[in-house]
Structure 1
């Protein structure tokens, strides 16, 4: 027997989602995507000059699709009926203050876009939140299950 989808909530097999310092659709504007594509051009050129290996082929394929994938990703939206907790690192994965702020803004905007979303900052954490602050991840999972579990 197949479980029916609830019009007011996520499918019955999903309690919600935990997005850990995730690259969210609203971050990948045309400007940001173009900036990262351009920033990687030298590395891609260097890879093209190296002997073809499984690793270089994979990296080149990923690089070729980076821009188009991010453009498409920017155009999608998260289902409003799926609860989400965004856990953001206090130290973003970016070196410049401008990029770090854009990342933080995207996390906050995503969390504010629906009443069933929230933002948690993992204080003292790098981009590798599960390694740096597993307690924050565990607490968020527990809270999600308690609030929306089935």
Structure 2
């Protein structure tokens, strides 16, 4: 029986190694981050999930992109979500991105050219990562992005005043801390502009994320304004899509990421 178990163990280790898959918890200081990697020969694509979502958001497209591009695919659960731990004493967006940087370094990708793909609130994190690594980030694809502004700060403040910590179950407490920090994080990211050398693709959903039409109009106008002000930026629309474009329009997302990757990162390793 012992021999059989060992044989099975080595068989599955071989399968994981052969396909270059990593699924691990990495110590990044005062907490652990859950990271999944599909190891390809091409430059990595780092995905940032939307608010209240974890790495599973990208499951429907990550394997397809891996096979299509032979790119390294990196997805992870942000602090307090999925399988990642939460340290409430170090819960600022800067601390979160520093934790991600530690993980990326441990995995051997700290000095690699990289493409960032982000959804909604994940854009805050991708923007800060690009600000801190302007020469390594070769492009950002934003899926219905949340963008920092004074209006966004006011909206975040109004949302937080309506909730209480006791409203959240233990397994959902990460969302409480996201909402608690939202106004300050938006203010912080307002001063961290994406470097002008980085190409940007914005993909806009037909339906906004909010119940209020005025807020949805503002949300979409922010993206249009961002794209309009940049030299190397384009806007693509996702007709019929809700705010969660990766879920509603995976084929569109796969196509746009593939084309963008081939244009800007195909020669990067």
Band of TM-score, shorter chain: 0.7 to 0.9
Q: Deviations over 1:112-149 (max 9, x none)?
A: 12221111111100011011111211121122123222
2:141 counterpart of 1:18: yes
2:224 counterpart of 1:108: yes
1:42 is matched with which residue? 162
User: Aligned in 2, Cα 1:111/1:65: closer, same or farther, shift over 3 Å?
Assistant: same
The 2-side partners of 1:3 and 1:92 are apart by 34
The 1-side partners of 2:178 and 2:226 are apart by 26
1:7 is matched with which residue? none
More strand by share: 2
Q: Deviations over 1:96-116 (max 9, x none)?
A: 221111111111111112221
- Number of paired residues? 136
TM-score by length of 1: 0.76
1:77 is matched with which residue? 193
Dislocated runs of 4+, deviation >4 Å: none
Structure with the bigger RCO (C-alpha within 8 Å, sep 6+) is 1
Contact 1:33 1:67 in 2 (8 A): yes
The 1-side partners of 2:157 and 2:209 are apart by 16
Residue 237 of structure 2: which of 118, 121, 133 is its match? 121
User: Aligned in 2, Cα 1:62/1:136: closer, same or farther, shift over 3 Å?
Assistant: same
The 1-side partners of 2:263 and 2:167 are apart by 53
Deviation at 1:85, TM superposition (A): 0.5
Q: Deviations over 1:32-60 (max 9, x none)?
A: 3123312332222xx3477x84644x344
Deviation at 1:22, TM superposition (A): 1.2
SS of 1:16's equivalent in the other structure is strand
The 2-side partners of 1:129 and 1:15 are apart by 22
Structure 1 residues without counterparts, runs of 5 or longer: 5-9
Structure 2 residues without counterparts, runs of 5 or longer: 1-110, 114-133
TM-score by length of 2: 0.45
1:62 is matched with which residue? 178
SS of 2:204's equivalent in the other structure is strand
